[in-house]
Amino acid sequence: MTVNDAIKKFNEKISASDRMAFLCAFFAGLLIHMPAMLMDVPNHDGLSSMYFSQNMITSGRWFLGVACAASSYFTVPWIIGLIGLLELSLTAVLLVRIFETDNPVIIMLISALLVSFPSLGSTFAYVFTLDGYMMGLFLSVLAVYLAKKDHFFFGGISLAFSLGIYQSYLAFAMLLSVYCIWDFMIRGEKGCIKKSMNFIYMGLGGAVLYYVLLMILLKIQGKVLDTYQGIDNLSGGGLSGRIQTIPGIYGNFVKFTLSKGFLTGPASETAALILGCCTLFAAAVLIINRSLVKKLWFWWVGLLTLILVPVSANVVLLITPQVNYHLIMRYQWVLFWMAALKICDIYVTSSKGVSKQLVSWISFAAALVIVISYAVSVNIGYTNLQRKYEKTYAYAVRLLDRIENTEGYYHGIPVVIMGVIGDDEFPPADLTSSVTGDMIGLEGDYLLYSGYNYQTFFRHYLGADINVISMDVVPEIYYSDEYVSMESFPGETSVKYVDGKILVKTEDAVRD
């Protein structure tokens, strides 16, 4: 078989729905995220990740280094972004297959929602690891797809490698599995109980395989799990402690779900409300028409769903209660919009009359407004990231000049930079906080939060090798009368030579 023959045979096996999902996701992704792929602007973590081997086994991410290898370990946003979008486009294909829709409009909206949801924007802020994370998302969805096709063994393997990249995508797989079980039940799928158990087998098998491989690889490398984000709780933490977090899990779920999120105006907020009401109407009519209220299993499964959905969405909080549950970890919320569109589509295809047309047009228009709102919000975040870099650059140039012109300075002298950039001399100038406030990596005014941030910024963007030492090495300085009396930069006494060191005070002059 020639290369040409192989390509033809491959094309014959690709359905029109698969092709549409892939192309819509890829080109919509390019349109929305092109700024992040072209501007090469780091966030605070990116400063130290210009070249990063991605060996994060102590955070439980034993497969991340392999997942990021294709783009090299250099931060090359265009290549990383392209690979990430290709992986995300394949994920869109799997999602369309799982939702079992051949409606071109629904396919386009599912693909557009996947690539516009602001969790992806925050992931692009950490572009040095984006291609790996998108592979992790793809593998989590592949695990569900394989389990749905009765290949739970291979689904478990896929889930294990997904967890080995980024554990948060477990929630994506769990929510998607809950949807599939509901779908089996409502359609009266033959052997639905047995088919539903496939997802449990897949989940348990994947979790066990992930943990076993993690322990083996930690042993081989002579390392232990880090305390970062509470990942060390994987090997302990206690059952009682996790049970105590459950009320907080439900509260967090309700708060995030009902918040305005990233809908940037009255039109998009109204669209979200309309789509929600439209979905509830369609679901209620379908339940009544199919006499589901008369079936006992419907009420049991419904109750179980109310219990499981919040826990599935917030499963990370159950595993590691101390985690900073930021936006990158909340990608699974996009599934609620996708499921809403599927419910509306089922109603449209099974109904007649004016209501069918109304639900079709209203759900389409509302979802389109939401997609556009997400795209706008993400690009507001990218604009703020660019401004953060420019403000940081201007600030760092002034600070470096002051350090190098301080009496007693010589190349290699220890420099102690204390505190974040204070508001006394540099009041917040971010105009986007109402939109980007919860978009980790895209929010705020500056990129500099620690002495190490300053050192890496000086080196990579100003070409200066400043010997910045950690405040942890000399903590007594922070509480000394001399430091407390210093002004905040750019005050006259904000940079001083003291006992063979250059002290720099960047925080507000008066501390609480």
Residue 163 three-state SS: helix
pLDDT digits (tens, 9 = 90+) for 323-336: 888 999 999 999 99
Q: In what order do the strands lie in the sheet with 415-418?
A: 415-418, 501-505, 495-498
CA–CA separation, 189 and 463 (whole Å)? 64
pLDDT tens per residue, range 415-465? 998 778 888 888 888 889 888 988 999 999 999 888 888 999 999 999 999
Q: How many CB atoms lie within 10 A of CB 294?
A: 8
Is the model more confident about 164 or about 477?
Answer: 164
Convert the pLDDT of each residue in 371-410 to its tens digit: 999 999 999 999 999 999 999 999 999 999 999 999 999 9
Where does residue 13 rank: exposed (0-12), middle (13-18), buried (19+ CB within 10 A)?
Answer: exposed
Tell whether the model's pLDDT for residue 117 goes beyond 70.
Answer: yes
Average pLDDT over residues 20-43: 95
Report pLDDT for 419.
Answer: 73
Per-chain mean pLDDT for the chain: 90
What's the CA gap between 37 and 385, in Å, rounded? 13
Residue range 190-203: mean pLDDT, rounded: 91
CA 163 – CA 20 distance, rounded (Å): 29
The mean pLDDT value for 37-65 works out to 89
Give dist(CA 138, CA 114) in Å, integer: 12
Are the C-beta atoms of residues 496 and 502 closer than 8 Å to each other?
A: yes
Coil, helix or strand at residue 56: strand
* Helix, strand counts (H, E) of the chain: 21, 3
Residue 203: partners with Cβ closer than 8 Å, 6 or more residues away: 156, 159, 173, 174, 177
pTM score = 0.93
Please report, for the chain, the start and end positions of each structural domain, with discontinuous segments joined by +.
Answer: 14-382, 383-505
- CB neighbours of residue 43 within 10 Å: 22
DSSP string, 227-272: -GGGGGGGG---HHHHHHTHHHHHHHHHHHHHS-TT--SHHHHHHH
Residue 238's pLDDT band (cuts 50, 70, 90): low
Give the pLDDT band of residue 64 (cuts 50, 70, 90): very high
Please say whether the dihedral angle defined by the alpha carbons of residues 346, 293, 145 and 314, taken in this order, is positive or negative.
Answer: positive
pLDDT of the residue at 62: 94
